[in-house]
Structure 1
Amino acid sequence: MGLKARQICTTAALAAVVSFWWTPVFAEVCDKIYPEWDGQKFSVLNEVAAFLTNWVGLAALFCLVTGSAVLRLRALLWVGSLLGGLLLLVAIMSWGDAEHQVWQSAINEGCAHPQFELIQLLSALVLTATGVFLGLRRRKRAQAIRATRA
C-alpha cells in the first residue's frame, strides 16, 4: 500500500470515528445573541424568560413582587410599571429586527423564536399592565382604609 492510499484510508477511518460523536454545531450568531444557549429550539416560554431576565426585567419583577406583597411599598409597583414601560419601549423600538440577516440566521438555527418580536412586545405589555393594575388596586385599597379610619 502506497503512501497516498494509506493517507486516504487513515482519513476515512478518522472521519468514520468522528461521525459517531457528531453533535450539532452551534451557530456563531447564537453565541452572540444568547451565550447560554444549549442547542434546543426556543419555545415561547424560553423567549419570554430570555427577554425578562436582563437587569431591567429582573428589577421590574422584583419591584412588582415586593410592592404587591407589602402594602406600604406601593411606590415599588409604580417603579416596576415604569421599568416594564422601559422594556415596552425597547420592544417597540426594536420592532423590525427580525428582517435583519443576523436574526434570520438565529431563527434558522433555533436560538430565536420566529415570532420573537411579538413575544417580547406582549411580555413587556403584560409586565407594565400588571404593575399599573396592582398600583391602582393598592391605591384604591389604601384610600378605603383611610376612609374607614376617619
Structure 2
Amino acid sequence: MGLKARQICTTAALAAVVSFWWEPAFAEVCDKIYPGWDGQEFSVFNEAAAFLTNWVGLAALFCLAIGSTVLRLRALLWVGSLLGGLLLLMAITSWGDAGHEVWQSAIKEGCAHPQFELIHLLSASVLTAMGVFLGLRQTRRARSLGTTRA
C-alpha cells in the first residue's frame, strides 16, 4: 500500500471511530445566551420559560402567586405587576436584537427560537396584564368584604 492509500485508510478509520462518540456540540454562543441549554431546540414554551426565569420574572411570579392566594397581601400583586412591567420594558427595549449576529448564530444552533422577540413581548405582556387583573380583582373583593388594609 502506498503512502496516499495508507493516509486515506487511517483517516477513514479515525472518522469511523469518532462518529461512534459523536454528540451534538453545544455552541459557545448558546452558553452565553442560555447557560443551562441542554442541546434541545427551543419551542415557544421553552423560550417563554427561559425569559420568565430570570430573577425579575421569578420575583414577579412569586409575588403574583402569593398575592393572589392571600387576600391581605394584595400589595404583592401590584409589586408583581410592576416587575412584569419591568420585563415588558426590557422586552420592548431589546426589540431588534434578532438582527445581531450573536442572536442569528443562536437561532441557527437551535438555542433561540426564531420569533424570540415576539415571545418575550407576549410573555411579559401576559404577566403584567395578569398582575393588573388580579390586583384589581383583589381590590374590588376587599372593598366588598369591607377590608381597609392594602
Task: Output the TM-score relative to the length of structure 1.
Answer: 0.91
What displacement does 1:17 show? 0.8
Query: What is the SS of the residue equivalent to 2:88?
Result: helix
Unaligned runs of 5+ in 2: none
Please tell me the root mean square deviation across aligned C-alpha atoms, in Å. Answer: 1.6
1:144 is matched with which residue?
144
Specify the code of the residue in structure 1 equivalent to 2:103.
Answer: W
Partner of 2:97: 97
- Match in the other structure for 2:67: 67
Q: For residues 39-50 of structure 1, what are the structure 2 equivalents within 5 Å? A: 39-50=39-50
Aligned twin of 2:126: 126
Deviation at 1:145, TM superposition (A): 0.9
Counterpart of 2:77 in structure 1: which amino acid? Answer: L
- Counterpart CA distance in 2 for 1:6 and 1:52 is 56
The CA deviation string for residues 91-124 of structure 1, in whole angstroms up to 9 with x for no partner, is 0000000010110111111100000000000000
Tell me the equivalent position of 1:109: 109
| Unmatched segments (≥5 aa) in structure 1 | none
Percent of pairs with identical residues: 83
How far apart in 2 are the matches of 1:101 and 1:15?
31
Runs of 4+ in 1 over 6 A off after TM superposition: none
Encode CA deviations 1:9-29: one digit per residue, 9 max, x unaligned: 433312211112222222111
In the TM superposition, what is the alpha-carbon distance from 1:7 to its structure 2 partner? 5.3
Q: Distance in 1 between matches of 2:3 and 2:109?
A: 41
